[in-house]
Amino acid sequence: MSTPLPRRVGLIGWGAIGRVVGGALAAGRVPGAELVCVTDNRPLGDSAPVPQYTVEQALDHCDLVVEAAGQGVVREWGEAVLASGTDLLVASTGALSDDDLAKRLLHTGPGRVYFTGGAVGGLDLLQAVRAMGPLDEVRLTTTKLPATLEQPWMDAELLTRMRSATGPVEVMAGTARDVPVKFPKSANVAASVALAAGDPDAVRVSVVADPAARHTSHVIEAIGAHGTYRFEVRHLPDSANPATSQVVPYAVLRSLAALAGRTGQIL
């Protein structure tokens, strides 16, 4: 049996997530995957270990593009990447709150689209349970430091409540369709849970600001005809970007390893 060629990877984004992912790829820590180029909206100079290309140039050199730069990149470039025949791994799953975009990504080819679970676990089990029948109830409660949740749309009263809070304050309650739009850098988990559950309108989400939240917390609760499920994770925020968790780039690397054919993976 011949050895498969390594996946030629282009990375969009050289921030808190991209630097960890790119550094690991460049160091050869993902067998079967080779970092070919990096795309970013800032000149990177010598800070990246591979050439900096535009997205169009990257599509000429790569067979897999990793998005690590935010929902806007998924909206602007997702379909073009897939239409070129290049596979796409999406970290900013919050973009899927746009139904039309989600449908286009899932039906555009010949490239294939994949999504990483990011900062939350249990999604594989929820997808398996869903195959037995719809879930009756799915809830997600996300708790973060107040400063990481501040948004331009918030009024003075809400901002004051968050900044002066001595305990947990619910900032927003809604569905997994509503919340990622309002918190584009902090609510990819809500969209990922919706992807696993199969319906963003059926996932109820509560976003909580807590000045004592040393860890970012995500609690998923699901009830269905075949069982009851509860997953809770607590992560340290990333020091360079407190809106995301330290584990996120490593979740991306795990997904990359699976796409590159690493054996021994839990799928």
Q: Which residues participate in catalysis according to the annotation?
A: 218
Check whether the bond before 31 is cis (ω within 30° of 0). Answer: no
Give the integer Cα–Cα distance in Å for 250 and 155: 35
What burial class does residue 239 get, using C-beta atoms within 10 Å of its C-beta: 0-12 exposed, 13-18 middle, 19+ buried? exposed
Give the integer Cα–Cα distance in Å for 71 and 66: 13
50 conformational bin, left if phi > 0, alpha if psi -120 to 50, beta if neither: beta
Give the integer Cα–Cα distance in Å for 256 and 63: 12
DSSP labels for 3-29?
PPPPEEEEEE--SHHHHHHHHHHHTT-
83: number of Cβ within 10 Å: 13
| Cα–Cα distance list, 235 to 18, 243, 247 (Å) | 18, 11, 7
Which amino acid is present at 71? Q
SS3 at position 120: coil
Name the maximum alpha-carbon separation found in the chain: 65
